């Protein structure tokens, strides 16, 4: 059936290229498929050009998504050994991190929109660079591990006592969503902290990961009996009601964070929540032939720019979980295989005949395209390298990780509130972040409605 469709579309497209037919059990096939997908993804990137800003994607892609894209490129390099995008990746992450001493990834250009969750994706890019011995950053930048530690230090200093703890979604009080405590901020902090715990073997990170877990698992964000992860909750309502929107990456943060923590501590208490969350993730998002579906938006076709990206992270985080917790590998790998294969089947659109769409459960292109679709397919297919190739698990300082951290990174410049005047620019009506829309959405939630949550 599939080859017939392919034949038909090839015939229709005449001289155009055929879609991506990937065999995810074959390393060469994965390498050639992901190289096509990465190339198409990087066609969107202009930040390296003279007059542009390294690390920025053009509209409508938010700053955080660029961080996620470079995180994916670090993974891509590790999975395939292809160095084509290394120079751009190193330049982008180093530039956005900013100089040594200050908190990394808090560029003044982004202060009108930046949330803790936005910062964390850039920190993940740096952390993975450390974990994979990715070539060093540019000369004036902090080391990869120091960047990640400085984000940890910054976020730990923003830990907030309202509702018994946790991080707010937003970093700055003038941004909308400051009263929202959500998973992208808290799950992100949990995962980064667990990665640092394992990379550095410094016990402080284990204590912080535990603190975050205790807050999260005792809050309305987590429904213990069903392992349901809810998107966020409003401080204005004493965090008594949850917005129960279901996003796959919200599960992914905690699944991977628990996997790192368990791998590092070997403490059996982390296994029941890890197993429960993995089961729930599969039940919630992989119900169709073990192929991941972003259920909150994909079936009805209204994913926004952010929503196109989420399931890619989930794929990666499940795959790394299979590696770090071998007893879960047999359960996880079939889903990685099925979803990776299916993602390739969606990459048959556009003028090049290999543009990726979102609906991996169907083998004809769904007509959508963008950085998020490319990035998710890249991750889904690439993650299979962890399954079939003999790739090392993330390094630690003890097993060969070369990036030397700095426990005090980011603590020189104080909290963002003490920063120079540029950080206190009022938000003006014309800002592109769509902050007004976010407020309306958060209000809708507060009033008991349901809405589409986006990462700002």
Ligand X SMILES: *[C@@H]1O[C@H](CO)[C@@H](O)[C@H](O)[C@H]1NC(C)=O
Q: Which residues of this protein are in contact with ligand X, per CB under 6 A?
A: 53, 95-96, 107, 109, 149, 153, 202, 204, 263, 266, 323-326, 393, 407
Please say which residue, 88 or 237, places its beta carbon nearer to ligand X.
88
Q: Least distance to ligand X from the beta carbon of 149, Å?
A: 6
Q: Least distance to ligand X from the beta carbon of 406, Å?
A: 9
State the Cα–Cα distance between residues 151 and 156, nearest whole angstrom.
8
Please say which residue, 96 or 383, places its beta carbon nearer to ligand X.
96
State the Cα–Cα distance between residues 208 and 211, nearest whole angstrom.
5
Q: Least distance to ligand X from the beta carbon of 401, Å?
A: 14
Q: Least distance to ligand X from the beta carbon of 198, Å?
A: 9
Q: Least distance to ligand X from the beta carbon of 264, Å?
A: 8
Q: Least distance to ligand X from the beta carbon of 121, Å?
A: 15
Q: Which 3-state string (H, E, C) describes the chain?
A: CHHHHHHHHHHHHCCCCCCCCCCCCCHHHHHHHHHHHHHHHHCCCCCCCCCCCCCCCCCCCCHHHHHHHHHHHHHHHHHHCCCCCHHHHHHHHHHHHCCCCCCCCCCHHHCCCCEHHHHHHHHHHHHHHHHCCCCCCCCCCCCHHHHHHHHHHHHHHCCCCHHHCCCCCECCCCCCCCCEEEHHHHHHHHHHHHHHHHHHCCHHHHHHHHHHHHHHHCCCCEECCCCEECCEEEHHHCCCCEECCCCHHHHHHHHHHHHHHHHHHCCHHHHHHHHHHHHHHHHHHCCECCECCCCCCCCCCCCCCCCCCHHHHHHHHHHHHHHHCHHHHHHHHHHHHHHHHHHHHHEEECCCCCEECCCCCCCCCCCCCCHHHHHHHHHHHHCHHHHHCCCCCCCCCCCCCCCCCCCCCCCCCCCHHHCCHHHHCCCCCCCCCCHHHHHHHHHHHHCCCCCCCCCC
Please say which residue, 45 or 310, places its beta carbon nearer to ligand X.
45
Q: Least distance to ligand X from the beta carbon of 297, Å?
A: 29
Please say which residue, 204 or 290, places its beta carbon nearer to ligand X.
204
Q: Least distance to ligand X from the beta carbon of 368, Å?
A: 28
Please say which residue, 321 or 374, places its beta carbon nearer to ligand X.
321
Q: Least distance to ligand X from the beta carbon of 251, Å?
A: 20
Please say which residue, 122 or 285, places its beta carbon nearer to ligand X.
122
Owner of token pair 């229709």: 12
Please say which residue, 260 or 285, places its beta carbon nearer to ligand X.
260
Please say which residue, 202 or 290, places its beta carbon nearer to ligand X.
202
Please say which residue, 350 or 407, places its beta carbon nearer to ligand X.
407
């Amino acid at each position: 059936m599939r080859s017939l469709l392919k034949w038909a579309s090839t015939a229709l497209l005449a001289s155009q290229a055929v879609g991506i037919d990937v065999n995810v059990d074959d390393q060469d096939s994965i390498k050639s498929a992901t190289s096509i997908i990465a190339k198409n993804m990087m066609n969107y990137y202009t930040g390296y050009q003279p007059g542009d800003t390294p690390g920025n994607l053009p509209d409508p892609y938010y700053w955080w998504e660029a961080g996620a894209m470079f995180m994916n490129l670090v993974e891509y390099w590790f999975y395939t050994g292809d160095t084509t995008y290394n120079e751009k990746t190193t330049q982008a992450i180093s530039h956005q991190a900013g100089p040594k001493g200050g908190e990394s990834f808090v560029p003044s250009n982004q202060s009108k929109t930046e949330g803790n969750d936005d910062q964390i994706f850039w920190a993940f890019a740096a952390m993975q660079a450390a974990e994979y011995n990715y070539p060093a950053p540019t000369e004036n930048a902090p080391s990869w591990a120091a960047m990640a530690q400085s984000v940890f230090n910054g976020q730990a200093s923003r830990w907030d006592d309202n509702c018994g703890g946790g991080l707010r979604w937003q970093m700055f009080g003038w941004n909308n969503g400051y009263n929202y405590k959500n998973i992208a901020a808290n799950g992100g902090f949990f995962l980064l902290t667990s990665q640092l715990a394992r990379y550095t073997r410094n016990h402080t990170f284990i204590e912080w990961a535990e603190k975050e877990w205790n807050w999260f698992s005792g809050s309305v964000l987590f429904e213990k009996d069903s392992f349901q992860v809810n998107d966020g909750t409003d401080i204005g309502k004493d965090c008594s009601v949850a917005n129960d929107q279901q996003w796959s990456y919200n599960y992914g943060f905690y699944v991977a964070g628990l996997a790192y923590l368990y791998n590092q501590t070997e403490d059996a208490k982390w296994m029941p929540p890890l197993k429960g969350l993995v089961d729930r993730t599969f039940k919630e998002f992989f119900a169709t032939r073990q192929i991941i579906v972003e259920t909150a938006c994909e079936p009805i076709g209204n994913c926004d720019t952010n929503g196109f990206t989420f399931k890619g992270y989930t794929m990666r985080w499940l795959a790394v979980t299979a590696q770090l917790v071998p007893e879960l590998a047999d359960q996880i790998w079939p889903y990685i295989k099925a979803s990776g294969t299916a993602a390739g089947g969606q990459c048959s659109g556009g003028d090049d005949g290999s543009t990726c769409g979102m609906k991996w459960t169907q083998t004809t292109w769904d007509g959508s395209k963008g950085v998020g679709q490319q990035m998710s397919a890249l991750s889904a297919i690439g993650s299979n390298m962890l399954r079939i190739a003999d790739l090392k698990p993330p390094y630690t300082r003890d097993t060969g990780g070369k990036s030397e951290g700095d426990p005090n990174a980011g603590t020189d410049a104080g909290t963002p509130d003490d920063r120079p005047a540029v950080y206190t620019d009022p938000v003006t009506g014309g800002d592109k972040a769509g902050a007004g829309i976010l407020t309306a959405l958060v209000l809708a939630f507060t009033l008991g409605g349901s809405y589409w949550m986006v990462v700002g």
